[in-house]
A and B are shown apart, each in its own frame.
Chain A
Amino acid sequence: MIVLDNVNKYYGDYHALVGITERVEKNEVLVVCGPSGSGKSTLIRTLNRLEDIDGGRIAIDGRDIHAKGFDVNALRAGIGFVFQQFNLFPHLTALENCMLAPVQLGRASKAEAREQAMALLDQVGLAHKADAYPDALSGGQQQRVAIARALAMRPSIMLFDEPTSALDPEMVGEVLQVMRTLAKQGMTMVCVTHEMGFARDVADRIWFMAEGKILETGAPGDFFANPQHPRAIQFLADRNRN
């Protein structure tokens, strides 16, 4: 469903993504992990064109998304993106945050969008906060609203860019729970995360990245029990020590 073919990206002289060739299947839950600065966020941001690429090809459902003249808005409308910093719209309530895009893009009437947004807020356990503004919500609640907002566009793929990294530890669980439920429902997911417990339990496959390259891929069982690449062994050892 997502095919990356020799994807390269540079920031000036810095080679941020080095010849990435991989694929993500439909209904697959993929976890991207690796030390910071390894290009994980850059990679996931190229999948909905928040970042351009300098070489290679990324195809989603067979269409080259970085091709000239490609309708990037239509692409993004079909891919949910969840940010580390939540990025809720502070001038809108939780409910309005979830209604904005469907209404503005003509996907639903206001009444339909409201009903659907309420259902999604209920799904993430926040129906009672529908009329709250983001600044009245905890980090974990904001992130759950952000997930509901992304789901309101009925995406076929969800991308998570370190969704729990900005949260207080006691709020990580509630966000991961929502992600687990989504995974169970068969959503195609790409998650950049440091939550190794989540990766072990939920992921179908792991990509381990360092220095802009995917150094190792595998099922979580194999990856955690028997990492192959020296960098992956080092990374997991460091994780376990903490």
Chain B
Amino acid sequence: MLELIDTYWLYFLVGQYPDGPLGGLVLTILLSGAALVLAMPLGLLLGIARVSHRRAISLPVGAFVQLVRAVPLLLVLFWVYFFLPAVTGVKTSQAATMLIVLVVFDSVYLAEIVAAGIRALPKGQLESARSLGLGYGQSLCHVVLPQTLRHGLPSIVNQLVSTIKATSLGYIIGLSEVSFIATQINTLVFTRSVEVYLILALTYFLLCFGLSRLAFLLERRLQRRPVGAH
């Protein structure tokens, strides 16, 4: 196993880079991180729209959120990969396709986290902000969202964990993320599947378990010192 790691670690880590496109574990992490960062503002907007009192806003957003949540990520991946180029006439790269799909899914799940957080906040918070003369937007920015996001931080880290695991579906469209690379290595060495996939499993586990622990610690810290305490 050590010999396997010794031979292929760089390939496992970055794919064919710098001779080819960036791949491997680095691509997996970059895609997941970028997707979450890009999805954040979208998720915030969708979440706020979801709890809007204006039905013209909350209904279509709610429908979109429900739709995306009810469809497998893989299916959307196919659609974007095969359908989008047919419409736009531009062939989307595997990495771009994956990023688009992850951003859509992440923003929808983040929207649910944000909306749930806003709904869970005692109604008196918004009322007292409004009673001071603050507008709805100001009240959201300075009173509601800071609390919602702090409470939602563990959920957001967990969403990153889901995203990292979801990137493995890129394998299907030939995205050279870490699962795809592992399969390539498996083909090259042929007889050592168990070890190759064990290393892959360990890699995912360490990454995701580490993040889950982080989420757990954050949650505990937030519980011990309720929102606000530095």
Q: Which residues of A contact B (CB under 8 A)?
A: 48, 50, 73-81, 83, 85, 87-93, 100-101, 104-105, 133-136, 146, 149-150, 153
Say whether B165 faces chain A, with CB atoms less than 8 Å apart: no
| Nearest Cβ on chain B to A67's Cβ, whole angstroms | 18
- Docked complex Cα distance between A207 and B150 (Å): 43
Contact across chains for A85 and B122 when beta carbons are under 8 A apart:
yes
- Docked complex Cα distance between A100 and B125 (Å): 13
Q: A48-B131, A104-B142 are in contact. Are A87 and B228 (CB under 8 A)?
A: no
30 sampled A-B residue pairs with Cβ under 8 A: A50-B130, A73-B134, A74-B133, A75-B133, A76-B130, A76-B131, A77-B133, A79-B131, A81-B128, A81-B131, A83-B128, A85-B124, A87-B122, A87-B125, A87-B128, A88-B128, A89-B125, A89-B128, A89-B143, A89-B147, A90-B226, A90-B227, A91-B150, A92-B228, A100-B134, A133-B229, A134-B228, A149-B132, A150-B131, A153-B133
- Docked complex Cα distance between A79 and B227 (Å): 28
Output the nearest chain B residue to A91 by Cβ-Cβ distance.
B228
Interface size on B, residues (CB 8 A): 22
Contact across chains for A76 and B128 when beta carbons are under 8 A apart:
no
Output the nearest chain A residue to B139 by Cβ-Cβ distance.
A104
Q: Which of B111-161 contact A (CB under 8 A)?
A: 122, 124-125, 127-135, 138, 142-143, 146-147, 150
**Which residues in B have their C-beta under 8 angstroms from that of A134?**
228
**Which residues in A have their C-beta under 8 angstroms from that of B131?**
48, 50, 76, 79-81, 83, 150
| Nearest Cβ on chain B to A222's Cβ, whole angstroms | 33
Contact across chains for B146 and A91 when beta carbons are under 8 A apart:
yes
List 11 additional A-B contacts (Cβ < 8 Å) besides A83-B128, A91-B146. Answer: A73-B130, A77-B133, A81-B131, A83-B127, A87-B128, A92-B228, A100-B142, A133-B229, A136-B229, A146-B128, A153-B132
Q: A87-B122, A90-B147, A92-B228 are in contact. Are A150 and B132 (CB under 8 A)?
A: yes
**Interface flags, B213-230, vs A, CB<8A=1, else 0:** 000000000000011110
- Docked complex Cα distance between A90 and B130 (Å): 16
Say which residue of A90, A101, A133, A136 sits within 8 Å of B132 (CB atoms).
Answer: A101
A50, A73, A89, A135: residue with the most chain B Cβ atoms closer than 10 Å: A89
- Docked complex Cα distance between A22 and B228 (Å): 43
Contact across chains for B124 and A83 when beta carbons are under 8 A apart:
yes
- Docked complex Cα distance between A90 and B150 (Å): 11
**Which residues in B have their C-beta under 8 angstroms from that of A149?**
132
Say which residue of B122, B138, B228 sits within 8 Å of A133 (CB atoms).
Answer: B228
Contact across chains for A87 and B127 when beta carbons are under 8 A apart:
yes
Say which residue of B124, B133, B226 sits within 8 Å of A73 (CB atoms).
Answer: B133
Contact across chains for A100 and B132 when beta carbons are under 8 A apart:
yes
- Docked complex Cα distance between A91 and B125 (Å): 11
Contact across chains for A91 and B127 when beta carbons are under 8 A apart:
no
Q: A74-B133, A105-B133, A153-B133 are in contact. Are A135 and B229 (CB under 8 A)?
A: yes
**Which residues in B have their C-beta under 8 angstroms from that of A75?**
133
- Docked complex Cα distance between A136 and B128 (Å): 20
**Which residues in B have their C-beta under 8 angstroms from that of A153?**
132-133
- Docked complex Cα distance between A90 and B143 (Å): 9
Say which residue of A76, A89, A136 sits within 8 Å of B133 (CB atoms).
Answer: A76
- Docked complex Cα distance between A231 and B184 (Å): 86
Contact across chains for A87 and B124 when beta carbons are under 8 A apart:
yes
- 10 shortest A-B CB distances, which residue pairs? A77-B133, A87-B128, A101-B132, A87-B124, A81-B131, A91-B228, A76-B133, A133-B228, A135-B226, A90-B227
- Docked complex Cα distance between A50 and B135 (Å): 13
**Which residues in A have their C-beta under 8 angstroms from that of B146?**
91
- Docked complex Cα distance between A89 and B143 (Å): 7
**Which residues in A have their C-beta under 8 angstroms from that of B229?**
133, 135-136
| Nearest Cβ on chain A to B212's Cβ, whole angstroms | 25
B131, B134, B229: residue with the most chain A Cβ atoms closer than 10 Å: B131
**Which residues in A have their C-beta under 8 angstroms from that of B125?**
87, 89
Contact across chains for A77 and B130 when beta carbons are under 8 A apart:
no
Output the nearest chain A residue to B225 by Cβ-Cβ distance.
A135
- Docked complex Cα distance between A89 and B138 (Å): 14
| Nearest Cβ on chain B to A214's Cβ, whole angstroms | 23
- Docked complex Cα distance between A104 and B135 (Å): 10
Output the nearest chain A residue to B128 by Cβ-Cβ distance.
A87
